[in-house]
Structure 1
Amino acid sequence: MHQQGAQAYQQTAKVVESPRQRESALLMKAAAGLQKVKDEWNISTTEELRTALNFNRKLWTIFMSAVTQDDSPLPQEIRQNIANLGMFVMNQTREILYEGVPQPEQLTVLVQLNRQIAAGLRGM
């Protein structure tokens, strides 16, 4: 499954030019998938929910892995912030999938987070 996230990352890399644009595009793709499940909650399946959450989780796993590498060019404070956001995403995903009955509102924070980070990466 981790390989699928990496493949999606590489496929998107071929379409856009800079790493920041690539990361922004992937975050927007993940946000769109989560938003679609939320918008179509009554007709979405559990599998569609899992697929959207897993894509988002894999993407954040890649981000967290990149910022925890010793050779990361980012300042320590930004690295820590990204790692903290990644842990939040992991916890939110676990909560949605495994604790209680999932609710569409639980996806809102993940969609907004991805969109805000993507906008920041695009310099908006």
Structure 2
Amino acid sequence: MSYAANAYARTSQVALTPREAEAAILIKAAVSLQAVQDNWGAHQLTLDDALGYNRKVWTLLATSATEADSPLSQELKVSMAQLGAFVFTRTLDTLVEPSADKLTALIEINRNLANGLRGNA
């Protein structure tokens, strides 16, 4: 029984709240985009992967934030929808005409939203 209690204690210490999990996923996407931007010449082949991951993250965020049963206020739902639309537009623009500078806005959005989710506004 002691082993089970210890295992539970260790697991409960590493379990993330939904907000922390969302923040961690946003940071992961930002780090991936930043790596491509920092090594533009060498990592341009990974641009599609980084943008694809970020697009998946934002598809989930925008969808869940704007669902009818979302606990967010209507104002926040609208803001998330607008932010998601910007992210999708910038992603498509970057895929069509790749440029390292176009990644900056995506990286900053992810980092700022992650900081907000963590309470570090």
- TM-score normalised by length of structure 1: 0.83
Distance in 2 (alpha carbons) for counterparts of 1:87 and 1:16? 31
Matched ranges for 1:85-100 at <5 A: 85-98=83-96, 100=97
| 2:36 is aligned with 1:40 | no
Deviations 1:73-123 (A, max 9, x none): 11111111111100000000000002x3x1111101100110000000000
Q: 2:66·2:80 contact (CA, 8 Å) conserved in 1?
A: no
Distance in 2 (alpha carbons) for counterparts of 1:118 and 1:92? 19
Distance in 1 (alpha carbons) for counterparts of 2:25 and 2:112? 13
Larger fraction in helix:
2
Q: Which residue pairs with 2:23 in the alignment?
A: 24
Work out which of the two has the higher radius of gyration on C-alpha atoms and give 1 or 2.
2
1:64 Cα deviation after fit? 1.1
Query: What's the C-alpha RMSD, in Å, of the aligned pairs?
Result: 1.0
| 2:53 is aligned with 1:55 | yes
Deviations 1:33-79 (A, max 9, x none): 00000011111133x00000010011000011102211101111111
1:17 Cα deviation after fit? 1.6
| 2:103 is aligned with 1:104 | no
| 2:37 is aligned with 1:77 | no
Number of aligned residue pairs: give it. 107
Distance in 1 (alpha carbons) for counterparts of 2:44 and 2:92? 17
- TM-score normalised by length of structure 2: 0.85
Q: Which residue pairs with 1:10 in the alignment?
A: none
